Structure 1
């Protein structure tokens, strides 16, 4: 098991759910704190204390930084091929992800996405959805901390049409008529991910018609009143994926983000400790002004944060003490467990809360060995009546390593999911064997083939709207069994 753990740690950085970030573009945003911007606060800590505070601030801030990096590429950087469009508008992606989509790791290829970057500074937004009775859909509301603070959709609000008011933390207005409920974000910026189920390729037109009925409008437009003024300040450029791991500039950008996150009562003392070393709203963390000993403390503190994550993953996540069902949810659910929140962001940012979707992952086979399509074949067997228990649908998606992306294959199949079940081959007892390997298992078995890359990979099972037995352990995921070893070198 020690060798297995070392191998898993070697791949820690490979499961990061990320988006490519390019150059800064002109985009404005409002902040009440902009007039109070101050110079770097003097470090009032010994190098030892500074190192510990930097570690603590990094663990706390990583999910915020990674989420900002994604939203920057989607809603700010118009030169980025991943740019979706302006804030406060719905942007539909009328297709599922393929291997050509490389900005986001471990992408869902079941449901076409729609995206909303919500700037709630000036006023709330009214989000309207149509009646959707023939398929699963969901709107996942995510704040800057990466808490899932609300849901709209099949599970959460039902199948009827409705309008919902998304408001920031400082809004104190009256709820207008025609709004079903108010959804309150703890932060001034929020991200809403829309998922609309797709049954097959021919169903795409129906999905596009549904997406066209998702609407977002500022409250003033909904009411027909004059919109409030919006003071502006430009976004700062986020760090690259690699620089985010070790650049002291991390904390200057984090201070910028704190402008959009009013302090939560449970974190007053924590934020006061960060402010002691110049990290906080209205502050500028200037690493160049630090002494050599202080700068080394910053570098060591960031390294300590990643070591803490690696240890946590090995001892808690890899051993099954905590899973994706524990790592995503509201602030109350996560209970300010910042290392768990960081781990969830590193391993799969924007994962759903367990009530909405559960994500069993196959990193190893039944014998604990890492998965590799270059030399091995695998099978996954579902007994009759023992498919994943869900109210909506399930899928099993292949991701190649080290990219953690969908993998090219001759039949353009990136997953097997429940809409495909009628076309899968069953044995005499009604069971289903899935063949997971690089080469075709033969024409007679190809219906059950999930193509693997000719190299390392992992597989994610998605259970949308899982039934209780999928969460309480009474239903077990089947073993991934290594069945053949190729003689090729």
Structure 2
């Protein structure tokens, strides 16, 4: 669907060129509109980049690849060695990855009986908004779905219509694995999910696409905007993008830009990542050091928030799962593997969920899982061998080294700066509205 363009990082201006042209009207106008386009288009470009990179074989160690309108099941529950480039990946479920193009009509998905095994098929539209099928929506019953995009098409008899707002969508499915002995059954059920529809070209080797260091960014954004229906309230914004040469009514051509336009747009690409990162994660709720935002699943027209969410990793609908995160301890100091911590759950204060819960530690810089001698990367209500107190309470021990009290309740943490994510799958209403509060991460000296 998209093709890489031979535009490389050398197209971005250096600091001297930026300073010299800082007051030139043509440059500043291109930079201003270009930066707006960079922020607005961040999820679109990131999605199209990943679509290329995951429907082609771009790395020797690539965990999965599949043609458009097909999917691939990850070979196992993720570990530091198999997580690839996923940010904040879980270690609770098998992942299913696929890209769908509904422009030629519906694509059919047949899901087998899942019983009480939790699963979700999370479809991300091209604006990065999640849409879910699974345990929460069908109770685990075998169901035949027809994915329908804006291009429409007939839904075959016996299929449940599932509308998506964009023809391009990314599937990141999750199927629960209770423990290592349960993994073969989780794999069997994952592979039993069948897709019917016109498949794209077979997977072949290709160069990885990276549009974030060149004017290829605006080539991809232009291609993406052409695929999308106009959104109410964005008419003036699209008019500005058209005037800058990368809007939906244009054919972006980097070679046709004036020197001033080229400099301005290159400047926008160069500073765009810094602008988005400065927005940062702003929780709507912080209790006992655990941060949560109720806005990230549907940012609306807050394009900067939308971009920041995508930069940090995609999210689910809150009713499906919430991910409270902690970066500080009970003393307000940053979490680090140089210290030891404890999380104490009273017997009547376990995370309230309809499916399951877990806690995972990640390296602060990479947001990825890190190696540990036990090979355990998450701990939660399904962890084999957990030891509860006589009163039913539970203590989770967090340290970088093997704790003296044994490994039954141990969650290994990275040796340096890290953060924690607690996952609540099918959270109860009190977890969604803030009545339930996770316990503090207590520093143990």
Q: TM-score, normalised by structure 2?
A: 0.85
Distance between the aligned counterparts of 1:94 and 1:347, measured in 2? 24
CA deviations 1:119-173 (Å, max 9, x no partner) are 212221011111211211111111111111x3211112222111111122112x3
The one-character-per-residue Cα deviations of 1:397-419 (angstroms, maximum 9, x if unpaired) are: 11124322111111101110211
Aligned partners of 1:230 and 1:445: how far apart in 2?
Answer: 51
Partner residue of 1:448? 409
- 8 A contact 1:326–1:354 mirrored in 2: no
Partner of 1:61: 41
Q: What CA RMSD, in Å, does the superposition of the two structures yield over aligned residues?
A: 2.9
**Measured at CA, do residues 86 and 301 of structure 1 come closer, stay the same or move farther in structure 2, by a change above 3 Å?**
closer
Q: What 5-or-longer segments of structure 2 have no aligned partner?
A: 6-24
> What residue number does 2:101 align with?
119
Any unmatched runs of 5+ in structure 1?
A: 1-22, 26-44, 219-226, 485-489
**For residue 258 of structure 1, what is the aligned residue in structure 2?**
225
On the 8 A contact 1:54/1:298 being kept in 2, the answer is yes
TM-score between both structures, scaled by the size of structure 1: 0.78
Q: What per-residue deviation string (whole Å, max 9, x for no partner) do you get for residues 229-256 of structure 1?
A: 999xx9997753xx61x53331122112
User: Which residue number in structure 2 is paired with residue 35 of structure 1?
Assistant: none
Q: Which residue in the other structure is 2:10 paired with? A: none
Alignment counterpart, residue 390 of structure 1, candidates 327, 344, 353: 353
Contact 1:68 1:238 in 2 (8 A): no
How many Å separate the matches in 1 of 2:312 and 2:271? 18
CA deviations on 1:63-117 (whole Å, 9 max, x unpaired) are: 1112222222211336552442211123222411001023212111110011221
Q: Which residue of 1 aligns with 2:68?
A: 87
User: Partners of 2:415 and 2:271 in 1: how far apart?
Assistant: 35
Match of 1:334 among 299, 302, 305: 299
**Cα separation, 1, equivalents of 2:341 and 2:388:** 17
> CA 1:310–1:91 in structure 2 vs 1: closer, same or farther (change >3 Å)?
closer
Structure number having the greater helix percentage: 1
Deviations 1:275-308 (A, max 9, x none): 1100123634444554554444334434564454
- Confirm or deny: 8 A CA contact 2:362 2:419 kept in the other structure: yes
Q: Distance in 2 between matches of 1:132 and 1:448?
A: 30
Cα deviation digits, residues 189-233 of structure 1 (max 9, x gap): 111222111100111121122113201102xxxxxxxx7x999xx
Give the whole-Å Cα distance in 1 for the aligned partners of 2:200 and 2:173. 27
Match of 2:344 in 1: 381
Contact 1:396/1:462 (CA < 8 Å) preserved in 2? yes
Give the count of matched residue pairs: 417
- Mapping for residues 168-207 of structure 1, pairs under 5 Å: 168-171=149-152, 173-180=153-160, 182-207=161-186
Going from structure 1 to structure 2, the CA distance change for 1:211 and 1:127 (only over 3 Å counts) comes to same
Q: Partner of 1:423: helix, strand, or coil?
A: coil
Alpha-carbon distance in 2 for matches of 1:313, 1:103? 21
Aligned to 1:12: none
